[in-house]
């Protein structure tokens, strides 16, 4: 199966078209010179303007420049807008100057990158899951410019991009040429985006198999091998570190014709989609895979599925569909596209969402063009630039319609043009008009799984059509298509209930492929439009108590009898909740600037009364602690640590019983925020297994306490340290918290840090 080029598919008015146009404006609003500044600096040139702030000047400098160029290129292919082409040319010319100034093919905005690459080249490798030789994920960062040059070549046919990409690839291979396989694997401990994928791309684009061989060597075998063995535990892993690796395995499998790597990527996809994914198609809590047997963190956290993960899962699904033609990949793609991706863009400002919490009555935060430069802004810029990629595919003389999105496709090789007109999902009717049919072709229309036991109806020129179902498609029979032929299809949609994969008592409601949710209120939306603070992407406003969440009381697990359509408002329904409230359900992607319910707690009458009491008790403790908390760090978790400017030497992190930890034989530190100088207690969480370890806790360079972890504890426990002895040393608002190991001992493991009022 093959996709069409983005420029063969033109979107017609629909929510996707609106999203594309908004994204186009967001792209044009970005200041290219500020995005280029990190590249200039790293090349030793002076930039015309300074970096943007946020992640663009605190360590991940330059990553958005890469996404920007990729998005410009795909958006240009999708829309043909000449202003975009001019921007692409401008950006590439500037990048070329930087690459030429570096002189050896190197190009990136990684701050202090030359030192990092030099050390690595000497075999001096210090890799943590999100650091490499003290840089913040430099490989993840540089991957974005690799991908950008590839995309500028493929989508915008830029004449310099491929040459620049090959030079960059040669530079990277030269600095790693004399490293052993073990050393390459050591480097790959650090998050590295789709580095293996892009080397396969370079192999294909250049026709040189040397890059392909390198792609195989530069793949993370600590993930690949257990996937091959179908024996992997993803729980606790940083999700968006793993998904791009698997995209690389799949890409390698396709080009090298490797059935084993292909099977590994299929196995990963099944695991993530069937066990780790919620109804909107997203996965992960606080960026990590949680236990498939326990979705409590998904319901409780304000940091639900990350948009980047779904961006990458769509990419993997597309690749798998093209080679396997199994419809499960399309079913997922459609679901994730409407319910996660489309929903992550603000309908007026075009701002992007990072986390989509599933916590009842929580809300989401949107990026602003000139303040927010997170990973999900980067992938967000790309998401809405390429909606045309999977609406249609083709194979031999078959045209396949996969998604019901208003559009026109031009199939140059066959001389075929087809227009798809529909209000789907607001209407079940989808019309196809043949504009041109120079050569005979077969028209195939996808039979989505959400049809259930319902059958679609098909007419050709208003007469019942002769159809056949082949491989999940309706083949519409016609000896010879002519200009003006009209194919009308009706896809009956039905309401369905889907429980969380752990079979707990939380369910979401869908109509057809569209996940429905209810706005609950629009109060206390703190930080709705993110500023440039490090944690601006998290919706940190009040969390509403779980026991007060609207619940459904029913004896019927399949409670569709409680859901009633709103007259003359397609896809809107009303549902009665336990407290007698009537809430309106609508497509989740329509809900913005509001708190919402998407997963509903489902109880029988008796359960409801009992559990509410329990929850109330637990929640009161949690909320009281949150109220008392000024700042907190989850050691060993990538984003919280980066957000607190983690530093360290000879330090390790890992997971113990689903809980993250960090320790060090030397030291590690975080920067805590106490803007109003209200802190009076430091609460640290430890594990009983670490008994006997000796270390010091320092604040702003002053000893707070010496610690020796005592026996007698059982499992996880916390100790509170009063801060008053150092009160005058920490009154400035910023507190550097440092754990320093005593000689021969270990500092930590630290399982949690909280600064309390
Ligand atoms: Zn992200």
Evaluate if residue 46 carries a pLDDT over 70. Answer: yes
Residue 484, pLDDT score: 97
- If you average pLDDT over residues 522-527, what whole number do you get? 94
Residue 655, pLDDT score: 73
Q: How far is the CA of 190 from the centre of ligand 1 (A)?
A: 16
Instruction: Report the relative pairing of strands 131-132 and 127-128 from DSSP bridges.
Output: antiparallel
- Percentage, residues of the chain above pLDDT 90: 87
- If you average pLDDT over residues 224-247, what whole number do you get? 96
CB of 438 closer than 8 Å to CB of 432: no
Q: How far is the CA of 657 from the centre of ligand 1 (A)?
A: 26
Q: How far is the CA of 300 from the centre of ligand 1 (A)?
A: 20
Residue 129, pLDDT score: 86
Give tens-digit pLDDT for 662-694. 999 999 999 999 988 899 999 999 998 888 899
Q: How far is the CA of 181 from the centre of ligand 1 (A)?
A: 30
Q: How far is the CA of 353 from the centre of ligand 1 (A)?
A: 9
Q: How far is the CA of 343 from the centre of ligand 1 (A)?
A: 15
Q: How far is the CA of 176 from the centre of ligand 1 (A)?
A: 28
Q: How far is the CA of 537 from the centre of ligand 1 (A)?
A: 10
Q: How far is the CA of 56 from the centre of ligand 1 (A)?
A: 14
**Pseudo-torsion of CA 419, 86, 354, 389, nearest 10°?**
30
Question: Angle, nearest 10°, between helix axes 307-324 and 327-336?
Answer: 160
**Tokens (6 digits) for 384:** 């809405």
Residue 666, pLDDT score: 93
Q: How far is the CA of 402 from the centre of ligand 1 (A)?
A: 27
Point out which residues pair with 285 in neighbouring strands: 288
Give tens-digit pLDDT for 299-332. 999 999 999 999 999 999 999 999 999 999 999 9
- If you average pLDDT over residues 471-495, what whole number do you get? 95
Q: How far is the CA of 355 from the centre of ligand 1 (A)?
A: 8
Q: How far is the CA of 362 from the centre of ligand 1 (A)?
A: 19
Lowest mean pLDDT among 67-81, 337-351, 584-598, 721-735: 721-735
The domains of the chain, with CATH numbers, are: 495-614 (no CATH), 631-756 (2.60.120.260)
Closest CA to 99 of 160, 43, 161, 144: 43
Query: Residue 384 phi/psi, 5° resolution?
Result: -95, 5
- If you average pLDDT over residues 196-213, what whole number do you get? 98
Measured between its terminal Cα atoms, the distance across the chain in Å is: 60
Phi and psi based region of residue 452 (left: phi greater than 0; alpha: psi -120 to 50; beta: remaining):
left
Q: How far is the CA of 473 from the centre of ligand 1 (A)?
A: 34
Task: Give the mean pLDDT of the chain.
Answer: 95
Q: How far is the CA of 602 from the centre of ligand 1 (A)?
A: 31
Residue 640, pLDDT score: 87
Q: How far is the CA of 124 from the centre of ligand 1 (A)?
A: 29
Q: How far is the CA of 308 from the centre of ligand 1 (A)?
A: 4
Q: Please give the order of strands across the beta sheet that includes 473-476.
A: 2-3, 392-395, 398-401, 442-446, 473-476, 467-470
Q: How far is the CA of 53 from the centre of ligand 1 (A)?
A: 17
- If you average pLDDT over residues 110-133, what whole number do you get? 95
Neighbours of 28 (CB within 10 A): 15
Q: How far is the CA of 285 from the centre of ligand 1 (A)?
A: 12
- If you average pLDDT over residues 349-362, what whole number do you get? 97
Residue 658, pLDDT score: 65
CB of 279 closer than 8 Å to CB of 291: no
Q: How far is the CA of 287 from the centre of ligand 1 (A)?
A: 8
Rounded Cα distance between 454 and 519, Å, is 30
Q: How far is the CA of 303 from the centre of ligand 1 (A)?
A: 12
Residue 447, pLDDT score: 97
182 burial (CB, 10 Å; 0-12 / 13-18 / 19+) is: exposed
Q: How far is the CA of 662 from the centre of ligand 1 (A)?
A: 23
3 state SS of 561:
helix
Q: How far is the CA of 701 from the centre of ligand 1 (A)?
A: 34
Evaluate if residue 60 carries a pLDDT over 70. Answer: yes
DSSP notation for 367-426: --TTT---HHHHHHHHHTT-GGGTTEEEETTEEEE-S---EEEEEGGGTEEEEEEE-TTS
Q: How far is the CA of 305 from the centre of ligand 1 (A)?
A: 9
Q: How far is the CA of 363 from the centre of ligand 1 (A)?
A: 17
Q: How far is the CA of 309 from the centre of ligand 1 (A)?
A: 7
- If you average pLDDT over residues 421-444, what whole number do you get? 97
- If you average pLDDT over residues 479-504, what whole number do you get? 96
CB of 272 closer than 8 Å to CB of 305: no
Rounded Cα distance between 211 and 168, Å, is 12
- If you average pLDDT over residues 561-587, what whole number do you get? 93
Q: How far is the CA of 142 from the centre of ligand 1 (A)?
A: 16
Q: How far is the CA of 379 from the centre of ligand 1 (A)?
A: 7
The alpha helices in 276-365, defined as continuous H runs, are 296-300, 307-324, 327-336
- If you average pLDDT over residues 605-616, what whole number do you get? 82
**Tokens (6 digits) for 234:** 């993803």
Q: How far is the CA of 246 from the centre of ligand 1 (A)?
A: 17
């Amino acid at each position: 199966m093959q996709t069409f080029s983005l420029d063969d598919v033109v979107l017609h008015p629909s929510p996707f078209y609106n999203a594309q146009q908004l994204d186009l404006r967001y792209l044009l609003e970005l200041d290219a010179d500020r995005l280029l500044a990190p590249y200039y600096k790293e090349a030793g040139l002076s930039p015309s303007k300074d970096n943007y702030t946020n992640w663009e000047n605190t360590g991940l400098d330059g990553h958005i420049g890469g996404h920007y160029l990729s998005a410009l290129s795909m958006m240009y292919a999708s829309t043909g807008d000449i202003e975009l082409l001019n921007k692409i040319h401008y950006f590439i010319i500037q990048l070329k100057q930087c690459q030429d100034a570096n002189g050896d093919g190197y190009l990136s905005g990684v701050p202090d990158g030359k030192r990092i690459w030099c050390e690595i080249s000497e075999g001096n490798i210090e890799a943590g899951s999100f650091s490499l030789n003290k840089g913040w994920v430099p490989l993840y960062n540089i991957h974005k410019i690799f991908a950008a040059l590839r995309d500028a070549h493929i989508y915008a046919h830029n004449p310099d991009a491929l040459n620049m990409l090959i030079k960059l690839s040669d530079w990277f291979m030269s600095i790693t040429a004399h490293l052993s396989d073990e050393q390459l694997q050591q480097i790959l401990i650090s998050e590295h985006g789709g580095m293996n994928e892009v080397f396969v791309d370079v192999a294909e684009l250049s026709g040189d198999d040397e890059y392909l061989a390198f792609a195989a060597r530069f793949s993370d075998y600590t993930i690949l091998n257990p996937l091959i063995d179908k024996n992997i535990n993803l729980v606790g892993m940083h999700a968006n570190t793993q998904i791009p690796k698997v995209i690389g395995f799949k890409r390698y499998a396709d080009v090298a014709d490797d059935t084993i790597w292909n099977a590994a990527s299929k196995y990963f996809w099944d695991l993530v989609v069937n066990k780790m994914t919620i109804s909107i198609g997203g996965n992960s809590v606080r960026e990590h895979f949680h236990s498939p047997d326990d979705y409590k963190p998904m319901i409780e956290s304000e940091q639900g599925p990350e948009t980047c993960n779904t961006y990458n899962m769509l990419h993997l699904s597309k690749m798998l569909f093209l080679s396997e033609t199994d419809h499960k990949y399309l079913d997922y793609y459609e679901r994730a596209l409407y319910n996660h991706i489309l929903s992550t863009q603000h309908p007026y400002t075009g701002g992007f969402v990072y986390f989509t919490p599933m916590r009842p009555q929580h809300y989401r935060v949107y990026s602003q063009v000139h303040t927010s430069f997170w990973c999900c802004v980067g992938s967000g810029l790309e998401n809405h630039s390429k909606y045309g990629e999977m609406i249609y595919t083709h194979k031999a003389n078959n045209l396949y319609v996969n998604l019901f999105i208003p559009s026109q496709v031009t199939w140059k090789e066959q001389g075929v043009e087809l227009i798809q007109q529909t209000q789907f999902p607001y209407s079940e009717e989808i019309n196809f008009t043949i504009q041109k049919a120079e050569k005979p072709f077969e028209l195939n229309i996808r039979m989505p799984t959400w049809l259930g036991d319902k059958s679609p109806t098909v007419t050709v020129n208003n007469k019942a059509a002769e159809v056949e179902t082949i491989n999940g498609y309706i083949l519409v029979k016609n000896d010879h298509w002519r200009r003006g032929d009209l194919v009308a299809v009706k896809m009956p949609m039905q309401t369905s209930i889907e429980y969380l994969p752990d079979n707990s008592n939380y369910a979401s409601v869908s109509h057809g492929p569209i996940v429905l949710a209810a706005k609950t209120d629009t109060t206390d939306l703190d930080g709705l439009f993110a500023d440039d603070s490090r944690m601006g992407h998290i919706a940190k406003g009040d969390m509403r108590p779980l026991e007060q969440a609207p619940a459904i009381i029913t004896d019927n697990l399949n409670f569709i009898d409680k859901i009633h359509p709103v007259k003359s408002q397609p896809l809107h329904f009303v549902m009665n909740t336990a407290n007698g409230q009537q809430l309106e359900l609508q497509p989740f992607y329509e809900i913005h600037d509001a708190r919402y319910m998407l997963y509903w707690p489902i109880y029988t009458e008796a359960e409801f009364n009992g559990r509410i009491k329990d929850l109330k008790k637990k929640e009161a403790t949690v909320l009281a602690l949150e109220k008392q908390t000024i700042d907190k760090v989850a050691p060993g978790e990538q984003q919280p640590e980066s957000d607190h400017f983690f530093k360290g030497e000879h330090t390790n992190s890992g997971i113990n019983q689903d809980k993250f930890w960090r320790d060090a034989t030397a030291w590690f530190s975080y920067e805590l925020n106490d803007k109003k100088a209200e802190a009076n207690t430091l609460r640290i969480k430890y594990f009983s297994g670490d008994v006997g370890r000796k270390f010091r806790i320092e604040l702003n360079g002053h000893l707070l306490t010496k610690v020796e972890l005592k026996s007698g504890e059982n499992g996880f426990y916390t100790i509170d340290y009063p801060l008053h002895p150092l009160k005058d040393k920490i009154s400035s608002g910023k507190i550097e918290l440092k754990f320093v190991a005593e000689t021969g001992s270990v500092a930590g493991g630290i399982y949690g840090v909280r600064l309390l009022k």
